[in-house]
Amino acid sequence: MNDEQTFADTIAKDQRVEPRDWMPEAYRRTMIRQVAQHAHSEIIGMQPEGEWITRAPSLRRKAILLAKVQDEAGHGLYLYSAAETLGADRGDLTRRLIEGRQKYSSIFNYPTLSFADVGVIGWLVDGAAICNQVPLCRSSYGPYGRAMIRICKEESFHQRQGYELLMTMMGGTPAQREMVQDAVDRWWWPSLMMFGPPDDQSPNSAQSMAWKIKRHSNDELRQRFVDMSVPQAEALGVTLPDPELSWNAERGHYDFGTPDWDELKRVISGDGPCNAQRIAHRRKADEDGAWVREAAAAHAARKAGTRS
Ligand code: FAQ
């Protein structure tokens, strides 16, 4: 078998493509694109909730939030390592992010206005992330699929802490309940947009599904997320801000309204409420950390010199 046949055979048999294996250049480029975007999302995703660490209402909430934000840093680093197995350079990926040449998830361009947002991010944003990422555990590229297993376990804890926070607030004062409802109203539609454009406007889906990088389409996963979230909203006692939401017995799924796809396009192209702030913060962190990278590289070079 030649290289191309071996690759096709690996995919057909549902086996993993590993870093040492031959792969088509387009497969490598697609994997780097998705893994890098995913890593950038985790790193930029630390910012919206990170803003609340110093303002958490109790020591317990602060400890939980700190642990969650640290987990996201870990996911980002883990994913950059997966991208490196494809030949990508971590510094180059960061430069591309800062220069706006690579994307990160639209969801992290919305502001966190109250502590209820921390709970809603856990419930809805981590919930959507899990829905999207559980099938990615079976993604055809080995290092990415294996990274997803650990990441999904941690995201499940994140979702539970968010839901528990919201349950606590819903059992509190009318003002606390209003804060939760307000946060749900603001985050519901952007959470649905996390799954990407509708299938008929998703240029990458067909090839990514043929290569078994993606296992389900954007719309399939969005539907799964809606079906999962409606009973959770009922148990919580909040209203999801969609008048078209209703159970469709024939389909066995909830019908729901259409997200504002123009808004998604605007946010992806850099014109969301917080895009400039998020990138400016990331740029500053990169500049502030430059001396550490330089010192580490100098130390490594000196050690290598001593050994030889
Ligand atoms: N935001 O053809 P498709 C997290 C881009 S979870 C920004 O459908 P594809 C955990 C897309 O890249 C969030 N861009 O693309 C956490 C493409 O652009 P390109 C991260 C979007 O790849 C929780 C173009 O639109 N999760 O961080 C978005 O087949 C809480 C056309 O789209 C992942 O990255 C969007 N929402 O499907 C952290 C999961 N949607 O590259 C902190 C892995 C689409 O051609 C707190 N990624 N685009 O220039 C995926 O599953 C896929 O890449 C999709 C997009 C589903 C996101």
Q: Give the model confidence (pLDDT) of 268-305 as tens digits.
A: 999 999 999 999 999 999 999 999 999 999 999 999 98
**What is the whole-number distance in angstroms between the Cα of residue 273 and the centre of ligand 1?**
18
Q: Give the model confidence (pLDDT) of 231-249 as tens digits.
A: 999 999 999 999 999 999 9
Query: 132: Cβ below 6 Å to ligand 1?
Result: yes
3-state secondary structure of 284: helix
Q: Give the model confidence (pLDDT) of 18-73 as tens digits.
A: 999 999 999 999 999 999 999 999 999 999 999 999 999 999 999 999 999 999 99
Query: 36: Cβ below 6 Å to ligand 1?
Result: no
The distance from CA 186 to its chain's CA centroid, rounded to whole angstroms, is 18
**What is the whole-number distance in angstroms between the Cα of residue 37 and the centre of ligand 1?**
7
The pLDDT confidence band at residue 307, using thresholds 50, 70 and 90, is: low
Q: Which residue carries 């969609």 as its tokens? A: 242
Helix and strand element counts for the chain (H, E): 14, 2
Q: Which of 31, 37, 137, 163 to mutate to test the pocket of ligand 1 (most atoms within 8 A of CB)?
A: 37
Do residues 84 and 144 lie in contact, with contact meaning Cβ atoms separated by under 8 Å? no
Q: Read out DSSP for 182-199?
A: HHHHHHHHHHHHTT-S-G
State which fold the 1-304 domain adopts.
Ferritin (1.20.1260)
For residue 53, the model assigns a pLDDT of: 98
Q: Give the model confidence (pLDDT) of 153-190 as tens digits.
A: 999 999 999 999 999 999 999 999 999 999 999 999 99
Q: Give the model confidence (pLDDT) of 111-141 as tens digits.
A: 999 999 999 999 999 999 999 999 999 999 9
Q: Which residues contact 181 (CB under 8 A, 6 or more apart)?
A: 238, 239
Is residue 220 predicted with pLDDT exceeding 70? yes
For residue 1, the model assigns a pLDDT of: 81
For residue 308, the model assigns a pLDDT of: 52
Is residue 264 predicted with pLDDT exceeding 70? yes
Indicate whether this complex's ipTM tops 0.90: yes
- Look up residue 190 and give its two tokens: 């952007």
Give the DSSP letter of residue 141.
B
Whose C-alpha lies nearest to ligand 1, atom 31?
A: 202
For residue 10, the model assigns a pLDDT of: 97
Domain extents in the chain: 1-304
Is the overall model pTM greater than 0.90, yes or no? Answer: yes
